[in-house]
Structure 1
Amino acid sequence: MLFSLSLFKLVLLALIALLAIVIWRYSATALAGEADQGRFMRALAATLAAVVFTLLSNHLLLFWLGWVAISLALQQLLLFYPERPRAQLAAHKKALSARLSETLLALAFTLLYLQFDSANISEITRAVATTGGANWLLHSAAVLLVLVALLKCAQLPLHGWLIQVVEAPTPVSALLHAGIINLGGILLLLFSPVLAYSSLASSLLLAAALGSTLLAALIMTTRISIKVRLAWSTVAQMGLMLVEIALGLYTLALLHLLAHSCYKAYAFLHSGNAVNHYLAAQLAGQTNPAARHWLLALLLSTALVYLVQLALPLSSLSSAVLLVLAISVLLVPSLCHADSHRPARLLLALAYALGLLALYFSLKTLLRLVMPTPAAVYPLADLLASLAFAGLFVLAILLRYHSHHRQLNKLFIWLNAGGYLDEWATRITLQIWPYQQKPAAASKQNTLQEVK
């Protein structure tokens, strides 16, 4: 069959429908009065249609054509304001990254076709289980799929275009960060048997995504602009999702994908209220937590997660570490103020954390039917990821509250510059594929001609 449906695809289709309705209505209101609103809405509809077509495709060629169509339609949205130089540069870099990912995906699909003599995706994923362990075609295809996912998820150092496309209208940012950017993870989940077959591809994915997650998360803490912070957060979150896939935690990765999509759509479409939130936080007053507050929060969160996992065992050490760190961040504000209301605040925070854990395990149990997790998780990779998450937690706290120290200040400055990775990538990009900036007058004239 050229097209197919599964529980996994139905869940993703429901997510796409929700995002499409919200972003479409927001765009219709936000761009009311724009001369090119019709052009924007047509490009938005084409992008959404290409995503649905790609997701339903059960043939390698159709999937690849849909993958290309998504990039081409999205390019029109990124250049909605073509007279902006930064928008031109971001779209140019995105185009080069897209062409590279499309070429690598075509090579991967060619190898899969040569190996299995079939272009049916369902047949390929079923046939992987019967393939011997020393098949270089399958290993090569898995590595290529990993590279495609890393490019599509804007992992470092080829991340600059994602940070700079905030020049586009806010609905484009919401569509990109809540939907399109997830395609790399969706690709690997669709071809998870191929990835699981190759330990080389899984190791490459773990190393690249884990490094990108750590750097992007630290760089995010140094940014002030709300949309730029959200963009860096997307790079870090996509890296974390790819780490989960590399570890074989497919259920957790799917839950992460769904939660991140909903949050990012809300965050970008609600970013106009960031100033009000900042002023409210300043009026409420902030107290920097001390080391004892963090230690107590960690102990309480560890005990809470331990008690919960006795009834519902966790699938890996790294997932337990992530839960402990997340709940610690939730609990620590209730411990900072030593007043008569602290016990009540702490009980309320613990009840909230327990509710979130119940929601987490409930959703994970439901999604296990959609995207089951293999029984075995490599202990060494799991331990490495756990140590990396713990180190990131400690370093982020130091940068947040103690960046005035000399060595931390140097690190803060380097991180604030993004590690100068994007400058390096931009120079190489322009050497490979130079472009000339369009004059503003010419861009406006082209826009007027398109309207006519």
Structure 2
Amino acid sequence: MTSAWIGSLLLLAIPAMFFISAWAHERRANWQLTMGVAVTALVISISSGVLAIAGWVEFGHGFDWVTHEPVSLVMLSLISFISYINVRYSRSYMAGNGEEERRYIRWLSITLGFVTLVVVSNHMLMMVVAWIGISVALHQLLIFYPERQRAVLAAHKKYIFARIAEGFLLAGVVILYFQHDSWLISDIYDNLSQAQGLSYADQFAALFLAVAALVKCAQLPLHGWLIQVVEAPTPVSALLHAGIINLGGFLMIVFAPLLILSSAAQWLLLIIGGLTTVLAALVMMTRATVKVRLAWSTMSQMGLMLVECALGLFELALLHLIAHSCYKAYAFLNSGSEVEATMKKRLAKSTPPSRFDWWMAAILASGLVIALIMAFALPAPYSPWILLAIALTLLIAERRGRLTSASVLSMVALAAVLLVAYSLQKMGVHFIVEPQATSVGLAGDVWMAFLFVMFFIGYILLRYHRDHPAMAATWRAFYAGFYLDEYVTRLNLRLYPTRLPVRFKPKHLKIPKEELFK
């Protein structure tokens, strides 16, 4: 048996172990077994990734249905790491009710099995089946507390949108099969990598896959379920935000040769993903609940990741995916401590930046970014560098925070370190996936630069001028999310109604008669 076959069987063993362990909890929740599976998966994925990327072992494709591509191995390592952290946290979080523990760990294991199967799939039908399996298993975790109305409503909307995404995904892969006479992603990748253009059928396939990614990543206006599923257990939210919702971006990275040849798909991602990036980030600023803020943040980050794919910056999208997953896993699992930290920040007195601070910060941040671009002759697109310059501007201008205060020199030094670290990480990911030129060109770059500038203006207005009378209506509109979810929810319930649970013994305000005013 060759190393390629051994590698394929080891990768298939990861989802198989999760599926088998799901049925090992009939009598009691065996957390140790599931943690052992997660550790084993982590060891296999990291070892395979290091050997494949370093070129020490030529895995190839021993079993054609399994991929050994570096992107998939990196994703598999990331998911295995998130799985282990999630299982360890869940063991303490769910302790106390044996029946709930068994039900939770069973569906958690099935969900993890399907997620890993999507990542290692080289067969498009196997990927679609695993994609469907994720949404079905995750649905059971989202309604883990069936008596919560918001959780049931969110899961109902998620169920509808998941079917829509799966329908577009299936339509896209079927078109690709008839066009290229193969179900294997590697064959389609090779065919499209040498193509100069796309047929009309391939154009539709690219559009369908882009729509599937947008729906999967909860982009506007199909976003409401992501905000409301915070009613689910905290580790479920962490798994959803850190390891599942970003599969839309992974789908775009896998089908990169198809995406870069479809202007329509690129513009679809740029328009919807770009608007979601900006609007969701600004809406997040108006929310008070920690989990809700994190949910809006996820929407914004997913939109930005899809925009990066549309601009051909696939290495940046992968780096973004990894960083976002690790951050969101930490943020949700540490949300209890974040509540206390947020309260301290709100109670502490802050000094808003002056007009001089803003101009000085903008000049220094722009100078650092322009110097880096000129020093290394970095090519277009430049809109991501504009976003980075905006981020560094905020870092320097807001150096006098609520809890800390720093000098200009120290903030500039920190900005320079962050800029170098970002550049090195971006260059390091080139060994896994490379950027590719897309057809949107200058127009797409200008569109995203405009949106980023609008975000900067909106940030200043919402944060420092929210008490101005002219901002009252704007603040309410952002706080309500422009009422998009309300319209979508009404449409969902009209087309596909469901019965929501009735609260048992709802609380009533009881006022003695003698205290009532006549």
User: 1:73 offset after TM fit, Å?
Assistant: 1.1
- Of the three residues 326, 340, 345, the one matched with 2:391 is 326
Question: 1:284–1:84: structure 2 CA closer, same or farther, 3 Å change rule?
Answer: closer
Aligned counterpart, 1:412: 475
Structure 2 CA distance for aligned equivalents of residues 144 and 273 of structure 1: 41
Query: Which residue matches 1:245?
Result: 309
Matched length: 437
1:336, distance to aligned residue in structure 2 (A) = 7.8
Deviations, residues 308-347 of structure 1 (Å, cap 9, x unaligned): 333344442112101101111211233689xxx98x6222
- Residue 151 of structure 1 contacts residue 158 of structure 1 at CA under 8 Å; is this kept in 2? yes
Give the 3-state SS of the residue equivalent to 2:427 in structure 1: helix
Q: Deviations over 1:179-228 (max 9, x none)?
A: 11101100011001111111111111111111122221121111111111
> Which runs of structure 2 are paired with 1:100-139 in the superposition (5 Å)?
100-131=164-195, 133=197, 135-139=199-203
Shift of 1:157: 0.5
Greater mean deviation of Cα atoms: 24-33 or 313-322 = 313-322
Letter in 1 for 2:427: T
CA distance in 2 between counterparts of 1:56 and 1:309 reads: 36
Q: Cα 1:429–1:279, aligned 2, differ >3 Å: closer, same or farther?
A: closer
Tell me the equivalent position of 2:119.
55
1:360 partnered with 2:422: yes
User: In structure 2, what is the Cα distance between the partners aligned to 1:297 and 1:132?
Assistant: 45
Structure 1: distance between partners of 2:343 and 2:496: 44
SS at match of 1:197: coil
Contact 1:312 1:361 in 2 (8 A): no
CA distance in 1, matches of 2:129, 2:300: 28
Cα drift, residue 307 of structure 1: 2.5
Which 5+ residue runs of structure 1 have no aligned equivalent?
A: 442-452
Structure 1 pair 415–283 and aligned structure 2 pair: CA distance change class (3 A):
closer
Q: Could you say if the C-alpha distance between residues 108 and 274 of structure 1 is closer, same or farther in structure 2, counting changes exceeding 3 Å? A: same
Cα shift readout 1:390-448 (whole Å, capped 9, x = no counterpart)? 1111111111110122332111101111101000000111122111124567xxxxxxx
In structure 1, the residue matched to 2:411 is 349
> 1: CA distance between counterparts of 2:321 and 2:273?
15
Secondary structure of 2:246's counterpart equals helix
Q: Distance in 2 between matches of 1:301 and 1:185?
A: 29
Alignment of 1:92-107 (within 5 A): 92-107=156-171
CA deviation string 1:348-376 (max 9, x = no partner):
22222222122211111110111100146
- Is 1:83 aligned to residue 147 of structure 2? yes
What does residue 34 of structure 1 align with? 97
Matches within 5 A, 1:383-398: 383-398=446-461
Which structure is higher in RCO with an 8 Å CA cutoff and minimum separation 6?
1
Deviation sequence 1:31-76 (CA, Å, 0-9, x none): 1113401211111111111111111111111011110111111111
1:153 aligns with 2:153: no
Q: Distance in 1 between matches of 2:455 and 2:469?
A: 19
Instruction: Determine the structure 1 residue equivalent to 2:70.
Output: 7
Say if 2:350 and 2:400, in contact at 8 Å, map to a contact too.
no
Matched AA of 1:67: W
TM-score (normalizing by structure 1): 0.93
C-alpha offsets along residues 125-159 of structure 1, whole Å, 9 cap, x if unaligned?
11013446351110000000010001000001000
For 2:293 and 2:97, the matched residues in 1 are separated by 27
Deviation at 1:15, TM superposition (A): 0.9
Partner residue, 2:11? none
Partner residue of 1:401?
Answer: 464
Q: Which residue of 2 aligns with 1:16?
A: 79
Mapped contact 1:206–1:243 kept (Cα < 8 A): yes
What are the residue-to-residue correspondences of 1:119-268 with 2, within 5 Å? 119-131=183-195, 133=197, 135-268=199-332
Q: Deviations over 1:237-258 (max 9, x none)?
A: 1111111111111111111111
Structure 1 Cα separation of the partners of residues 341 and 401 of structure 2: 20
SS in 2 for 1:427: helix
**d(CA) in 2 for partners of 1:283 and 1:95?**
40
**Which whole-Å CA distance do the structure 1 matches of 2:157 and 2:291 have between them?**
19
Aligned equivalents of 2:477, 2:289: Cα separation in 1: 17
SS state at 1:348 partner: helix
Return the structure number with greater helix share: 1
Separation in structure 1 between the aligned mates of residue 340 and residue 114 of structure 2, nearest angstrom = 37
Partner residue in 2 for 1:293: 357
Greater Cα offset, 39-48 or 273-282: 273-282
Q: Contact (CA 8 Å) 1:293, 1:335: kept in 2 or not?
A: no
Answer yes or no: is 1:317 the counterpart of 2:379: no
What letter corresponds to residue 364 of structure 1 in structure 2?
K
**What residue in structure 1 maps to residue 10 of structure 2?**
none
Output the CA distance in 2 between the equivalents of 1:335 and 1:165. 35
C-alpha distance in 2, partners of 1:49/1:311? 46
**How much has 1:387 moved relative to structure 2?**
1.5
Separation (CA, whole Å) in 2 of partners of 1:279 and 1:2: 51
**Distance in 2 (alpha carbons) for counterparts of 1:258 and 1:134:** 31
Any idea what SS the aligned residue of 1:98 has? helix
Is contact 2:238-2:332 (8 Å) kept?
yes
Matched residue, 1:308: 372
Distance 1:225 1:301, change over 3 A: same
Give unpaired runs (5+ residues) of structure 2: 1-63, 505-518
SS at match of 2:146: coil
Q: 1:282 deviation in Å?
A: 4.7
Q: Which residue of 2 aligns with 1:370?
A: 432
State the distance in 2 between where 1:21 and 1:134 align. 42
Q: Pick the aligned partner of 1:421 from 484, 491, 495.
A: 484
